[in-house]
Every structure is written in C-alpha cells, then in structure tokens.
Structure 1
Amino acid sequence: MTTPFAWLAQRIRLERRSLKAASLSAMIAAILIIVGGGVVRVTGSGLGCPDWPTCTGGSIAPTAEMGIHATIEFVNRLLTFVLCAAVGWVIIAARLQREPVPGITRWAWFQFWLVVLNAVIGGITVWVKLNPYVVAAHFLAATLLLTAAAATWDEVQNLGNASEAASNDSLKSLGTWLVAISALLVIIGTGVTGSGPHAGDSAEVPRMGFDWLQITIVHAAAAVGALVVALVLWHQARQQQVPVVAHKAKLFIWVLAGQGLIGVVQAVTSLPELLVVAHLVGSALVWIGAVRVGLASHATARGIQPQNS
C-alpha cells in the first residue's frame, strides 16, 4: 500500500535549501513557544483562558469581556499552530529530498510528537491552575522540543560535508559534560522561576518551596560551571586544531556571558518583566549553543567534521 508521502515522493523532489529553510523555521518557532510562555507568565495571563482546549465554556476564542489577559493567553495558544506548520514543513521537506535523509526525517517526526506532548502538558497546566511543578514540566517539554529542533537544524547544515578522520575523546567527554551541566542549568532555572514573584496569574498561585536567593546562587554556580567547561573545551579544540568545535564553543561562551549579564541585572533590579523575557530568549540560545557544541564534539570523535556555521 502506497503512503501519501511515498506517492508525493514519486512526483515531487525538493532541494536541500528547502530543508534548510524548514528546519530553521521550526527552530525559530520552538524559540517563540518558549518566549510566548514567558510573556504569558510575566503579564499574569496564565489563567486568562481558564479552560483547555477551549478558552472558556464552549468558546475556543476569548470574548471581549475577558480582557487583555485572555487575549495574550489565546495568542500564545495560537503559536502552537505556527509550530505545527513549521514542523510539518520539515517532515515534508525531509521526506521529499532528492537524496534520502532518513536521520533528518526521524528528527522531524520526533519534533512532531514533542509538539503533541507540549500541548498536552500545556492543557494540564491550565487544569491544575498553574501548579509550579507542572509549569516547570511544561517549560522543560518546550526545551526538549527546542533540543530536537536545534539538532535537526544542525544536522541539516552538515549534510554532504566531507569526513575527516579524527579521534578526540577528550573533546567528546567535554562536550558531554557541557550538555549535561547546561541541562542542569535549565532545570535549576525552573526552580528559580517557580520560587520567584512571577506566578503567571494575578490569583493566588502556589510557589515552589525553595528559598529564592539560595536557589538563584545555585543556578549561578551551574552557569559558572558551564562557562568553565566551555572555556576548557574551546582551548583544547584550538590546540588540537579542530576549528568547528572551537568556533561553536566560542559562540557558546559569548552567548552564555551575555545571558549571565542579563541574569545578574534582573536579579538586582527585582526581576522586571522585560528582562525576564530577555532571559528566556537567552536561555533558549544558550541551550541551542550547548546542543550544537555537543553534536560537533561527538561528530569529531566519530571522524565527521561538521560545517563551520
């Protein structure tokens, strides 16, 4: 039995540039999902639509009487459709390539199922009235989606590049440590947010039971740890003449430094809303950087030299 994709593949073939554009759009959409959630949180619009999947009662969209918070929450929900369109584009573009790319196709479908997971957790978040632990799980699910989107985009950039035999176990180990510490940084960050003042709604929303100052210090320590590992990785990659890893590690260092600066400023200025959103953008960029460095270091260890991009 011929599947719809197989039927299309017999009639339509797409170039690499379509796949590059699709994978980039999906990664940008994944970032927008994270930022949109941050805007909902800092504006106190988390329960602007008090139900899910409808906004209220039998209405999908908010009514005029529900006010600006309902509109903000509803627009955030609409971003899911933008994300679905972007991920669908990646799936189609990967399946219709002139030269098969089964690895990219698997990453694209992985993104699709993560979109479903993220939507379900988002609905549960509304049902449990913004329980901070479920909100944290919602953010981590969005970050997992961003992981898949970043990995897909990075792998697409490397398609067709020449291999260079090189074994760098030390770079592989450091790349693994960088991803692990960066993941820990993201997880601890949900505790900082869950203990802070931005509960996501003007109603009484429970907070995590951490001391905000203490967990913020732990978060900062994890950031310093990631920075140290990145510096060592960058230095070793330069010494071992692996320019792609060195280049991506350097980009990660600069992004992490900028993110750290935003974090310090927002902490000492009582977490202004605009800086909180900027910090969320920074967290997405830091995580993308960590994923790309991890992939590059492991690709080098396997003897595959990625493109310098």
Structure 2
Amino acid sequence: MQENPKSLRRYKQLTISTIIAVYLLILVGGIVRSSGSGMGCPDWPKCFGNWVPPTSVDQLPVNYKEVYSEKRHQKNIRLTGYLEKLGFSDTADKLKNDPSVREEADFNPLRTWIEYVNRLVGVVIGMLIFATFVYSIRFRKTQPRVLIFSLLAFVGVVFQGWVGSIVVSTNLLPGMISFHMLLALLIVMLLIYTYFTVDPPVADNETGGDAINVKWLLLGCAALFIVQLIVGINVREGVDSGLSAGIERSTVLEWIGFKFYFHRSFSWALLIGHVLLTYFLWTSSSLSFSVKFSAVLTLVVFLEIVSGAAMGYFSIPAFIQPIHLLLASVVFGFQVYLFLRINRKDALNIKHSI
C-alpha cells in the first residue's frame, strides 16, 4: 500500500524542519554554557517564579538567593533517594553534602534572558516533535516504524525536559550537562531515522561489495568520533572545573593536561578516517551521491578541527565554543544519515514488506 505523495512530502518537510530546529537548540545550548548562563534561571520550568523573567534585581525578593537555593535543595533531596536506589551513592552524597551545589548565582539579566530564550526554543522543538508524532499516526498501518520512532523522539524530548530541570536543581552538576547534550544527539538520530524510513532515497547503483566495505569504513569513522566525543566531553568538563576554580582561560587547557593533548591529536585520526572514506567512495564510481555527501561530512570534520584549534590558540573564546559543539553534532547527524543510506536496502525491504 502506497502513501499519498503529498503526505510523504509534508511529513518529510516537517521532520527536516524539526531536525534543523534541534540543531538550533544545540547551538543555543552551547551559547548558554559558554556564557555561563546555565543558572540564569534558578528554577524550572518557570524563571524566578514567573513565566516571563524579571529584567531587574529590584523585581526579586531581597532574600531570593536563599529562597531558590532552598527550593533546589528540597528537589535534590528527593533526587538523591532515587540515585541511591540506582547505585549512584557518590553522586547522591555530593548533592547532599557539597555546599557548592546550593550556591546561588547573582542575578544577571543578560544571562537570565539567554537561559530563558534557550527554554523557549526547547518548547518550540517539543511542539515540533509532538507534531511529527501526531502526523506519523497516519502511517501506522503502512509504515509502523515511522510511528514508533516518532513516538520515541517525543518521549525523548519529554525526558530531555525533565533532565533539564535536574541540571538546574543540581546547579550544573558535572556530567548532567553532558548527559543533557547526549540526549539531544539521540533525539537527532531518531528523527533522522524517521526521515529516512518514511521515504528512503533512490539507491545508488552500488555493488554489494562496495556497500559492505564502505559500511565498515564508516563504522570505523563513527568509532573514532565516539572516542573523540567522550574525550571532548571530559575536556569540556575540565574547562568548567578549572574556570570555577579560578584558573585563567589562557592556562586552563594546560591545567587539564593529557586529556586535552589527546583530544587535540586524536582529531587528526578522525579527519584521516573521513578522508579515506571519501576517497574510497570516489574510487567507487557506483556510489555517486554518497561521495558528495561524504565530502561535505569531511569538510565539516575539518571545520570542527579548525574551531577546536582556534579555542586552543586563542584561550577558548566563548563565541567559538558553541560553534565547535554544533559542528560536532552535525558530524554525528551526517554519519547517521550516510550509514542509513549505505544500508538502505534494509530500509527498502522493510518498506516493501509492509
């Protein structure tokens, strides 16, 4: 049974718009983190108890720090109970006993509104993902996987909102921000899979051997990226810890030490892997579209390395950090799509068997 072409086209347009919006949120989230605006709103989902945040400290109670610190503390007490049951006793102890968790930042209207805009963008994306789920219901008989993965993306964004509230209540606890970011990448992956599955692209005329070789080479590149991502997360958390400890931006990377140097050097392995991938696709003339897509992917990897080098040489300029994060996220999305395209025979078989 074939779907109405107009319905397919509209759903694909909605899905690609949602994916772009998620990348926008990743960029805005990077701006929040690099500008130190993560605690611009000390509560969640409201901001200083209001749906529209204040613009002046005069609009807040005199003891606003104590008020919101206590609210976060009470929420963390409930959270520690769950963490202990799940075996995260060290994290629970930190939430209970580390005085820095209860510290409340001074009111800063710029940071407050940066965080508020971040939340507004998150709400818009939640609505878009909900819309993709609702629209996917019409495919429940012909392409049930579209409905399932749209639902998973919606559940993911709801869970992401809850994690965002935990990030605030724990005063940007190390690890929670990174987990928040990884969830965003998971949502991107689900949306890309949904976009691909609803109407797989016309296949290149590749031979089976070409597809298998490219698949393994791409998986190797993905493995390199995952290693680089994990180390990068550790470096970023090290930067946060160093700056919080009073270390200057110009010396914080040296203070981090081996992790930073490994992250910097390993980026070349990632670039070489993608150059080899593009070269292999280029020499396999039957993979015409994929070579162009891989070339763009390699360019994005190169730009990511350039942005990382700029941070290293220019004392981590705040405006480059979100760009570096966005480029890494785009690399991930491109890898997911290229992998699905190389394995599109499976997707096509799924579609035709329904």
TM-score (structure 2 length as normaliser) = 0.72
Superposed displacement of residue 187, structure 1: 2.2
The equivalent of 1:158 in structure 2 is 200
Q: Does 1:55 align with 2:55?
A: no
Rounded Cα–Cα distance in structure 2 between residues aligned with 1:26 and 1:303: 22
Larger radius of gyration: 2
Q: Is the contact between residue 14 and residue 93 of structure 1 (CA under 8 Å) also seen in structure 2?
A: no
Rounded Cα–Cα distance in structure 1 between residues aligned with 2:7 and 2:287: 30
The equivalent of 1:297 in structure 2 is 342
In the TM superposition, what whole-angstrom CA distance separates every residue of 1:267-299 from its partner, at most 9, and x where no partner exists?
100111111122122122211122122222333
In the TM superposition, what whole-angstrom CA distance separates every residue of 1:95-153 from its partner, at most 9, and x where no partner exists?
33599332222221121111022111111111111112111111111121122223333
Rounded Cα–Cα distance in structure 2 between residues aligned with 1:253 and 1:209: 26
After TM superposition, the structure 1 stretch with the greater mean CA deviation from structure 2, 217-226 or 285-294, is: 217-226
Q: Does 1:110 align with 2:101?
A: no
Superposed displacement of residue 190, structure 1: 1.4
Q: Is the contact between residue 188 and residue 215 of structure 1 (CA under 8 Å) also seen in structure 2?
A: yes
Report SS of the residue matched to 1:273: coil
* Sequence identity (%): 23
Q: Is the contact between residue 204 and residue 288 of structure 2 (CA under 8 Å) also seen in structure 1?
A: no
Cα distance 1:234–1:165, how it changes in 2: closer, same or farther (>3 A)?
A: closer
Q: Is the contact between residue 34 and residue 318 of structure 2 (CA under 8 Å) also seen in structure 1?
A: yes
**Aligned counterpart for 1:19 among listed residues 11, 17, 22:** 11
Equivalent pairs, count: 288
Unaligned runs of 5+ in 2: 57-106, 247-251, 350-354
**Aligned counterpart for 1:273 among listed residues 318, 325, 332:** 318
Unaligned runs of 5+ in 1: 1-11
In the TM superposition, what whole-angstrom CA distance separates every residue of 1:27-54 from its partner, at most 9, and x where no partner exists?
0121122112111112211111112233
Cα distance 1:214–1:165, how it changes in 2: closer, same or farther (>3 A)?
A: closer
Rounded Cα–Cα distance in structure 2 between residues aligned with 1:162 and 1:214: 44
The equivalent of 2:128 in structure 1 is 86
Q: Does 1:233 align with 2:233?
A: no
Q: Is the contact between residue 55 and residue 61 of structure 1 (CA under 8 Å) also seen in structure 2?
A: yes
Q: Is the contact between residue 160 and residue 184 of structure 2 (CA under 8 Å) also seen in structure 1?
A: yes
Report SS of the residue matched to 1:130: coil
The equivalent of 2:268 in structure 1 is 224
Q: Is the contact between residue 197 and residue 347 of structure 2 (CA under 8 Å) also seen in structure 1?
A: no
The equivalent of 1:180 in structure 2 is 223
Q: Does 1:46 align with 2:38?
A: yes
Rounded Cα–Cα distance in structure 1 between residues aligned with 2:340 and 2:117: 34
**Aligned counterpart for 2:288 among listed residues 233, 239, 243:** 243
Cα distance 1:199–1:71, how it changes in 2: closer, same or farther (>3 A)?
A: farther
Rounded Cα–Cα distance in structure 1 between residues aligned with 2:143 and 2:133: 11
2:53 maps to amino acid: P
Cα distance 1:291–1:210, how it changes in 2: closer, same or farther (>3 A)?
A: farther
Rounded Cα–Cα distance in structure 2 between residues aligned with 1:51 and 1:252: 39
Rounded Cα–Cα distance in structure 2 between residues aligned with 1:55 and 1:203: 27
2:216 maps to amino acid: S
Rounded Cα–Cα distance in structure 2 between residues aligned with 1:243 and 1:154: 18
1:64 maps to amino acid: T
Report SS of the residue matched to 2:343: helix
Superposed displacement of residue 18, structure 1: 0.6
Q: Is the contact between residue 136 and residue 146 of structure 2 (CA under 8 Å) also seen in structure 1?
A: yes
Cα distance 1:203–1:96, how it changes in 2: closer, same or farther (>3 A)?
A: farther
The equivalent of 1:8 in structure 2 is none
Rounded Cα–Cα distance in structure 2 between residues aligned with 1:269 and 1:136: 24
Q: What are the within-5 Å matches in structure 2 for residues 179-198 of structure 1?
A: 179-197=222-240
Report SS of the residue matched to 1:49: coil
